[in-house]
Amino acid sequence: MKIITANRLLDGEVVWLGPQDTWVEAVGEARVFEDTEELKAVLGSEVVSEERQEVVGVYEIDVEPKDGSIVPTKLREAIRALGPTTHPAFGKQARAGGRAA
Amino acid sequence: MYRYDEFDQEFVNERVAQFKDQVRRRLSGDLTEEQFKPLRLMNGLYLQLHAYMLRVAIPYGTLNSKQMRKLAHVARTYDRGYGHFTTRQNIQFNWPTLSDTPKILEELAEVQMHAIQTSGNCIRNVTSDQFAGAADDEFADPRVYAEILRQWSSLHPEFLFLPRKFKIAITGAPQDRAAVQVHDIGLQLTQNEQGEVGFVVFVGGGLGRTPMVGRKVRDFVPEKDLLSYCEAILRVYNRYGRRDNKYKARIKILMHETGLDDLKQEIETEFEAVKHTFLDLPREEVDRINAYFAPPEFAALPAVSDVFEAEKATNPAFANFAKRNLNGHRAPGYTSVTISLKPIGGAPGDATDEQMEVVADLAERFGSDEIRVSHEQNLVLPHVKLDDLPTVFKILQANGLGTANAGLVTDMIACPGMDYCALANARSIPIAQEISERFEDIKRQQDIGDLKIKISGCINACGHHHVGHIGILGVDRKGEELYQITLGGSADENTSIGKIIGRGFPADEIADAVEKVVEAYLQHRESAEEPFIETYRRLGDAPFKEALYGTA
């Protein structure tokens, strides 16, 4: 299982590609790719192009299902999805409703 | 301290305007990310894991209260209420937006600050002794020369696209508090037999994936030749430094591959060509810059302060602070105060906007309006009357700034690690926090004595782990954080690179491992007067290996 991530150009916010081809701020809302060919096609498409001035640094990451949602498998990506582990008051983890989960 | 002249101010203002336009063009799509990235990096703006990061230069770690208040304002207004002081004596803000950055830079320019050359393959912020101009063991104030080097290196047309970044450090005291031997150029102020001022010059020191101690290329470069000699070194590096492999591009690799004698010869040949030109440093110019760094007028005070002694006798917390956080001052009745940014369980080097305001107030009221940032990620009030210290300490203590641990086991350097940094392979801050909590007991810390732990979250070694008495390097092993321990590193006048002691430890075992190393030291030291590094140098690895692995 893979999803596509990037940082938003304007403020650096971590985002993931959502089901509507828009960038979403919560990893749980990301569009999940089970099919490698489909993932490749999207990664090569206009949808994720940096030239749209929306995001920078587009790449794919591995995720796994957890508690009815998905979580990144690598620690680095888990930290991106939540915020600094040392500062629970900052980053997505601090936001209401645990949207990052 | 140095104040901008019209040229400096105009240059910084122009640069802000230029960057503002570059951001505008980036956001409108006229510049691609590929085109924009080097431009933003030249202005200290990185993109990290969660957000942009702005690194603001604090030349040789010196600032005044007005500048500190501006940093507090930036933290409060554009960031999340804190800043992170770094090993290059700079400050990093972890959460600014791209769109706010031109405004931040505009505000910084109002107090003569900027983020130029805090990134990129150029000459970076020149670092120095945090006690410069105050220390009782100082031969001459290194900031004068650091400022001259800053002016020479700022937008130097030949040296903006070097093979790799280039770092210079300078010390004016025999006790090296600026880690000069692990810099691309390390300068040690000295005098020759005729009593003339000059510099011992080290070249090719550095940490990162290939740590090396700088090699001495000259015992004495006269003051007037400082810029010519540095220009010669940079020219040789710019010409021969490798550009094919960024991991082999620093001057330390050139030194290693060329050899000391040959590289020295190249430098001397180039020096012959550039000396006695416009780069000669006239005495009048040194005097002019020197005037900016004239010490404040010190009151005539007795060396012993009754107020200070009385407080020490009755307030144990103050006595602990006085034991560790003061450095001998050139003027009787004065001291330099280290404000530890390493509270127990805290993130090393972080300060809140309120704390920055407190330090600014203290500097203004009690410290001749001067503040320093140390490469060990602490703040310093360089000129404080011993008489005022009880009051200063009370205020520090009330604001979480009174930790009495300067130079002790909990006064660690740690890079931001994988909690923030896009390059990191492992976290650093939580490791520092756990070790800090483990050694919380101040009596135990004092018993252990001088001990420098330095933690990096990747091989780039921003946390200086190679020169920690105990160094900790975080690596990624099959998706898990693993921490390697090095022992015996040091970044003072007896610089050495630490040696890896053995296999690494997972995150939940590294604090135990550090504790075992410390216990082994306590067991094997000759007396309480023998610090960790001396015990290590006397005995080598064996007792520590035994303690960690049972395999001496």
Domain definitions of chain B by residue range: 6-110, 135-292, 306-398, 413-549
Average pLDDT value for residue range B263-272 = 98
Contact yes or no for A41/A3 (Cβ under 8 A): no
- Strand (E) positions, A1-101? 2-8, 14-17, 23-24, 55-66, 69-72
Highest mean pLDDT among A45-54, B148-157, B395-404: B395-404
Q: What pTM did the predictor assign?
A: 0.96
DSSP per position, B405-465: -TTSTT--EE--GGGT-SS-SS-SHHHHHHHHHHT--HHHHHHH-S--EEEESSTT-TT-G
Does A97 have pLDDT greater than 60?
no
Q: Which of B273-287, B427-441, B486-500 has the lowest mean pLDDT?
A: B273-287
Phi, psi of B59 (to 5 degrees): -50, 125
Does A45 have pLDDT greater than 80?
yes
pLDDT digits (tens, 9 = 90+) for A4-39: 999 999 999 999 999 999 999 999 999 999 999 999
Query: Domain B306-398: which CATH class?
Result: alpha beta
Contact yes or no for B510/B470 (Cβ under 8 A): no
Residues of B in contact with A51 (CB under 8 A): 29, 32
Does B1 have pLDDT greater than 90?
no
Exposed / middle / buried, residue B3 (Cβ in 10 Å: 0-12, 13-18, 19+): exposed
Residues of A in contact with B48 (CB under 8 A): 12
What per-residue confidence (pLDDT) applies to B6? 87
Does B295 have pLDDT greater than 60?
yes
Chain B residue at shortest CA distance from A12 = B51
Judged by a CB distance cut-off of 8 A, whether residue A74 touches chain B is yes
pLDDT digits (tens, 9 = 90+) for B434-451: 999 999 999 999 999 999
Judged by a CB distance cut-off of 8 A, whether residue A64 touches chain B is no
Question: Quick check: B33 and A56 CB within 8 A?
Answer: yes
Domain definitions of chain A by residue range: 2-88
What per-residue confidence (pLDDT) applies to B335? 98
For all residues of chain B together, what is the average pLDDT?
A: 96
Residues of chain B whose beta carbon is less than 8 angstroms from a beta carbon of chain A are 26-29, 32-33, 47-52, 80, 95, 97-99, 347, 418-420, 424, 427, 429-430, 433, 479, 481
Handedness of CA B539, B545, B548, B552 (dihedral sign): negative
Least CB–CB distance from B97: residue in A10, A83, A86: A10
3-state secondary structure of B112: coil
Question: Quick check: A90 and B418 CB within 8 A?
Answer: no
Beta-strand relationship, B453-456 and B413-414: parallel
Judged by a CB distance cut-off of 8 A, whether residue A88 touches chain B is no
Q: Which of B1-10, B13-22, B159-168 has the lowest mean pLDDT?
A: B1-10
What per-residue confidence (pLDDT) applies to B425? 97
Question: Quick check: A50 and B32 CB within 8 A?
Answer: yes
Distance CA B443, CA B522 (A): 14
Interface probe, candidates B23, B24, B50, chain A, greatest A C-beta count within 10 A: B50
3-state secondary structure of A43: helix
Average pLDDT value for residue range B369-397 = 98
Question: Quick check: B419 and A80 CB within 8 A?
Answer: no
Place of tokens 């000699």: B229
Instruction: For domain B135-292, say whether CATH 3.30.413.10 is its number.
Output: yes
Q: Taking phi first (over 0 means left), then psi (-120 to 50 degrees means alpha), and beta for anything else, what does residue B29 get?
A: left
Does B502 have pLDDT greater than 50?
yes
Exposed / middle / buried, residue B39 (Cβ in 10 Å: 0-12, 13-18, 19+): middle
**CA distances (Å), origin B20, targets A34, B48, B124:** 43, 21, 22
Interface probe, candidates A87, A92, A93, chain B, greatest B C-beta count within 10 A: A87
Place of tokens 């600026």: B178
Exposed / middle / buried, residue B480 (Cβ in 10 Å: 0-12, 13-18, 19+): exposed
Q: How confident is the model at residue A99 (pLDDT cuts 50, 70, 90)?
A: very low
Q: What is the ipTM of this complex?
A: 0.94
Chain A residue at shortest CA distance from B37 = A56
Phi, psi of B295 (to 5 degrees): -65, 155
Question: Quick check: B419 and A7 CB within 8 A?
Answer: no
Q: How confident is the model at residue A95 (pLDDT cuts 50, 70, 90)?
A: confident
CATH code: domain B6-110 is: 3.90.480.20
pLDDT digits (tens, 9 = 90+) for B183-206: 999 999 999 999 999 999 999 999
What per-residue confidence (pLDDT) applies to B551? 65
Q: Which residues pair with A15 in a beta bridge?
A: A6
DSSP B212: B
H or E segment and range at residue B477: strand B470-477
What per-residue confidence (pLDDT) applies to B306? 98
Distance CA B184, CA B213 (A): 10
Residues of A in contact with B78 (CB under 8 A): none
Least CB–CB distance from B49: residue in A53, A56, A79: A79
Least CB–CB distance from A53: residue in B27, B47, B48: B27
Nearest to B277 by CA among B239, B218, B235: B235
Question: Quick check: B50 and A50 CB within 8 A?
Answer: no
Amino acid identity for residue B249 in this structure: A
Distance CA B408, CA B193 (A): 38
Contact yes or no for B336/B329 (Cβ under 8 A): yes
Domains B6-110 and B306-398 belong to one CATH topology: yes
Question: Quick check: A86 and B32 CB within 8 A?
Answer: no
Distance CA B489, CA B537 (A): 10
DSSP B478: T
Judged by a CB distance cut-off of 8 A, whether residue A31 touches chain B is no
Instruction: Report the gap between the CA of B346 and the closest CA in chain A (Å).
Output: 9
Instruction: Report the gap between the CA of A68 and the closest CA in chain B (Å).
Output: 23
Distance CA B517, CA B511 (A): 10
The CA-CA-CA angle for residues B412, B503, B204, to 5°, reads 55
Chain B residue at shortest CA distance from A52 = B29
What per-residue confidence (pLDDT) applies to A100? 42
Residues of B in contact with A9 (CB under 8 A): 26-27, 33, 98
Query: Domain B413-549: which CATH class?
Result: alpha beta
